Structure 1
Amino acid sequence: MSEPRTVAVVGAGLAGAKTVEALRAEGFDGRIVLFGEESHRPYERPPLSKGYLQGNDELETVFVHPEGWYAEHDVDLRLGVPVTGLDRHARELMTRDGDAVHYDRLVLATGATPRRLRLPGGDLPGVRYLRSVDDSDALRAAFRPGANVVVVGAGWIGLETAAAARGAGATVTVLESAELPLLRVLGPRMAQVFAGLHRENGVDLRFGVGVAAIHGDGSAVTGVELDDGSVIEADTVVVGVGVTPNVDLAQMAGLDVDNGVLVNASLRTSDPHVFAVGDIANAEHPVLGRRIRVEHWANALHQPEVVAKSVLGREAVYDRLPYFFTDQYDLGMEYVGYASADDDVEVRGDLDGREFVALWTREGKVVAGMNVNVWDVTDRIRDLILAGQPADAFELPAPSA
C-alpha cells in the first residue's frame, strides 16, 4: 500500500493529539485533519481527577500541546466538529455541519463516555460525571467546606474524586455495590488498603448498597435514596460507575466491534485503511497472548507511536504492558501488568504502613505488580513479568538514608 496523502484522526484527546504528533515525527508531510467534539484543544484526562481537580495544577498544564503547535505543524485542527458518518468505500467522513472529508487512512480515537445513572432523579442538576475539563471545573466549584458529596462507585474515578472532595473540606460518602473498593481490579487484600485509606481520611464508605433514586427540588440535588429506603443528604452526587467505549461510528460503518473496536497488534481494524487507538482499541497483545482493551493514560500516550508507523506502512506492534497510577491523600501508586482478582498476591514491605510492593502471580510467575509509596521499581517489575520470573526474584530497594 502506498503512503497516504491525507490522514484523518477522529477524536482530539490525548490519543488523537499524540497520533498527529507521531505522524509528523515519522516524517509524514501530507495532510492531517484532526476532529474534536469539544471546543478545548486536546488535553490529558488524569489531571482532571488528580492535580487539576485538587487545585494543585493550573489549567494550562493539562493540554497536550501549546496553542500554536497545530498550526506550526500544519495540522488542520477542527474543534467543536463532531463526525457523524463514515463511508469506508468512498473513504469519506461526514461532519455534523454537512462537510465531507476524504481520507486515505483513518485513525479512530473516539474515547469513552461515562455510564449514566438510569433512575429517578438521575438527570437532576448536581448529578455530575467526570470526563471533561468542564466536568472537572464544575466539581472544583462544588467541592468546598460544608458541602455534602455522595460518590456512586468506588473505582479509580470514584476514589480520586472522593479524595479531592475531602481535601477541599467536604463531607463525603462513597456508595459501592461490591463488598470493597476496586475489588475486581485488585482483589480483596489490596482493596482493603484503599478502604482503610479513605476511612482514615474521614470518608463514609458504604458497601453492598444500591441506589434507588436521587432526590431534589427540581433545581438541585438534596439526597440519595438507597435500596433500603434510607436517604443520604447530598448537594452534589458524583457518578463513577465505569465508561462505555464510543464505537457508534465504527459500528455504523461495519467495522468489527466487540467491547471496543477490534484491532490487531499493529492497531489496524478489519478495514486495512482504518486504525483505532486509546480507550476504544480492543487489541491483540503479543505479550499477554490475548485481546485487551485498557482505559488508561499510558495506552493513549504510547499507542500513537505504533499506529503512526502502521498508517505509513511500516512494521510495528504494540506490546507495552498496561500501566496506570493514582494519587490519593498521601498514597501514591503505580501498577504495571495485567492480573485478575483471582491471582495470588505476595507483598514485600510494610502493608500496614502503606509502603510496599504487591506482586500478583499466576502459575508461579509474576503477571502484575503494584508499588505503593515505593518508587523507581516499575521497570524492575516490568522486567520480571516479561521474563516470566517468580516473585522471589524481586527485592525491595534499600531504604534511603
Structure 2
Amino acid sequence: MSGLVVIGASYAGVQAALTVREAGYSGPVTVVADEAVLPYQRPPLSKDFLLGETTAQGLLMRDEAIFTGRRIDLLLGRRVVELDRNAGRVVLAGDAVLDFDSLVIATGSRARPITIHGAELDGVCYLRSIADAIDLKARLDRASEIVIVGGGFIGLEVASSAIKLGKRVTVIEAGSRLLERAVSSVVSRFLLDIHVQAGVAVKTNAAISAILGAGSRVAAVELDGGVRLGADLVVVGIGGIANDDLAVAAGLKCANGIMVDQYGRTACPGIYAAGDCAIHYSRFAGGWIRLECVQHAQDQGRAVGLAVADSREPYDSVPRFWSDQHDLRLQTVGHAAGSDRIVIRGAIDAGRFSVFHYRQDKLVAVDSINNPGDQMLARRLIAAGISPEPDQVKDISCDLRSFLKNRQ
C-alpha cells in the first residue's frame, strides 16, 4: 500500500497526519520534513525563545512517542524535490522515491527577502525557523544596535524581545502605520505608543535604500533621503511567500498559493494542500485568501485529514490570530479588509479594549487588546452572521452574549 504522504511537518501537516489516524485511516502515513528536528511551535521563536524563557526542546509540538504510537513515520532532514502527480509519487533529494495514494502539501511559507544593496552582509537576519532563531539569539547576545525592517508581527515581536534584552532598537516601517493591513488605525496607534514607551524608536513612512557594511559585516542602514542609522544587526520581517514551488512545477493551479476547496482538495484527485502554502475561498473575506496563522493551519489541516479518511467536514473557520508584544496580547478574529466603520468597546487608556469592524452594517472583524472574552464572543457572532448595532457595542453595559442566546 502506498498510503498517505505529507510534505511538511508544519502545523497543518502534523494536524492532517494526526487527524487522519483519529478518523480511522489504516494505511501507511509518512511525514517528510526538510528540517532535521521534530515538529515544533513557531510563534514562541520571536518571544520566549529569544528571551531564553524556553528551549528548543520546549518548543516541540508533540513527543516522538505520539507519532510512533499512531504509526506515523517521520522522515526528518529530507527534502522533496519533485512531485509526479500522474505517477502518484514524490522524489526526495538523493533520488529516493515515495509512492502515494493521497498527498498533502503542507510546505508553509518562507521569509520574503529584502532586495537592496548590502542585503547579503553578515548580520542581516530573518526569523522563520528554529535554525534562524538559534542564530538570531546568539547574535542578539553580542549586538547593541538593532534595526528591524518591517512593522508587522515578526518585526514588532522581535522588537519587544530585543528591548527587554537591553538593546537599542529601531523599527523601520514603509507604511503609514504599524500592522497597517492587519488591524485598525486605533490599534496601530495604541501599539505605537506601547513600543515607544518601552524605548523602541519607530519610523513610519520610511524605507531603507541600502544596508552598509564595514568589511563583510553590517554597520549601518541608509534610509531614503540619506539618513543613516548605526546597526550591528538587521532583522528583516517584510512578509512571507507561499512555498508552492513543487505544486507549480507539477502543474497544480496556484495563485499566491495552492488553490484548494473547502476540504483542502486541489484540482488533482488525491492531492490536498493546507496551511500557509494554500489559498482558499473564505465567506468571511468574501474572496480568495491565503492566511499565515497557527489556528488556520490547524483547522484546515484537520479538514484535510478528515477528507483523506473519507470523513468529510468542510473547513469554515473564522480567521483568527494573536500576537504577544511587551506585556500585552493582541487578538484578531474575522477579516477586516474593506470595512467602512469601526466601533470601540472598552477603555483604550485602561489598555483593555476591542475594535469592532463593520462592512455595510455587517460585523466582519474584531481586534482586541488584553480582552480574550470579546474575542471568544466575536468569533461566535461572526460565524453565525450576527451583527449587534454599533450603539449596542459601544455600551459596555449591553451584554452582547444575549444576541447569541436569542438566536438559539
TM range (shorter): over 0.9
Instruction: Note if 1:21 corresponds to 2:18.
Output: yes
SS of 2:235's equivalent?
Answer: strand
The one-letter code of the counterpart of 2:342 is V
- What is the 5 A alignment of 1:307-386? 307-340=304-337, 342-385=339-382, 386=384
**Which residue pairs with 2:385 in the alignment?**
387
Deviation at 1:40, TM superposition (A): 1.2
C-alpha displacement at 1:172, in angstroms?
0.2
Say which of 102, 105, 118 aligns to 2:99: 102
Q: Does 1:235 align with 2:232?
A: yes
**Is 1:305 paired with 2:299?**
no
CA distance in 1, matches of 2:338, 2:175: 13
Question: Which residue of structure 1 aligns with residue 277 of structure 2?
Answer: 280
Alignment of 1:122-271 (within 5 A): 122-144=119-141, 147-271=144-268
Query: How far off its partner does 1:235 sit?
Result: 0.8
1:300-321: per-residue Cα shift (whole Å, max 9, x none)? 2221211011112232210110
Which amino acid in the other structure matches residue 121 of structure 1?
G
Structure 2 contact 184–367 (Cα < 8 Å) conserved: no
Q: How many residues align?
A: 395
Q: Considering only aligned residues, what root-mean-square deviation do their CA atoms show, in Å?
A: 1.8
1:114 equivalenced with 2:111 (yes/no):
yes
Structure 2 letter corresponding to 1:364: D
Measure how far apart 1:12 and its partner are: 1.1
SS of corresponding position for 1:377? helix
How far residue 115 of structure 1 moved from its aligned partner, in angstroms, is: 0.7
Name the aligned partner's letter for residue 116 of structure 1: P
User: Does the alignment pair 1:46 with 2:43?
Assistant: yes
* Structure 1 residue runs without a partner (length 5+): none
Higher mean C-alpha deviation, range 349-358 or range 110-119: 349-358
CA distance in 2, matches of 1:43, 1:300: 14
Q: Percent identity?
A: 34
Would the aligned equivalents of 2:284 and 2:335 in 1 still touch at CA under 8 Å?
Answer: no
Whether the aligned pair in 1 keeps the contact of 2:187 and 2:367 (CA below 8 Å) is no
Equivalent position SS for 1:196? helix
Q: How far apart are residue 393 of structure 1 and its match?
A: 4.8
Aligned-partner SS, 2:381: helix
Deviation at 1:357, TM superposition (A): 1.1
In 2 relative to 1, CA 305–249 (structure 1 residues): closer, same or farther, beyond 3 Å?
same
Q: How many Å separate the matches in 2 of 1:194 and 1:343?
A: 22
**Equivalent position SS for 1:310:** helix
Shift of 1:284: 2.1
Kept in 1, the 8 Å contact 2:118–2:211? The answer is: yes
- Deviation for aligned residue 1:183: 1.3
- Larger mean CA deviation between 48-57 and 248-257 belongs to 48-57
Classify the secondary structure of the residue corresponding to 1:305. Answer: helix
Q: Would you say the 8 A contact 1:306–1:316 is kept in 2?
A: yes
Consecutive unaligned residues in structure 2, runs of 5 or more: 399-408
Indicate how the Cα distance of structure 1 residues 77 and 233 shifts in structure 2: closer, same or farther if over 3 A, else same.
Answer: same
1:41-90 residue CA offsets vs partner (Å, 9 max, x unmatched)? 11121111122223222322211111333223222211111101011110
**For the Cα contact (< 8 Å) 2:284–2:364, is it kept in 1?**
no
CA 1:146–1:279 in 2, change beyond 3 Å: closer, same or farther?
Answer: closer
Deviations 1:233-258 (A, max 9, x none): 11110000001000100000000001
Contact 1:84/1:95 (CA < 8 Å) preserved in 2? yes
1:83 maps to which residue?
A: 80
Following TM superposition, by how much is the alpha carbon of 1:396 offset from its aligned partner in structure 2, in angstroms?
A: 4.4
Name the TM-score, length of structure 1 as normaliser: 0.94
Query: C-alpha separation between the residues in 2 aligned to 1:285 and 1:375?
Result: 24
Deviation at 1:371, TM superposition (A): 1.7
TM (norm. structure 2) is 0.92
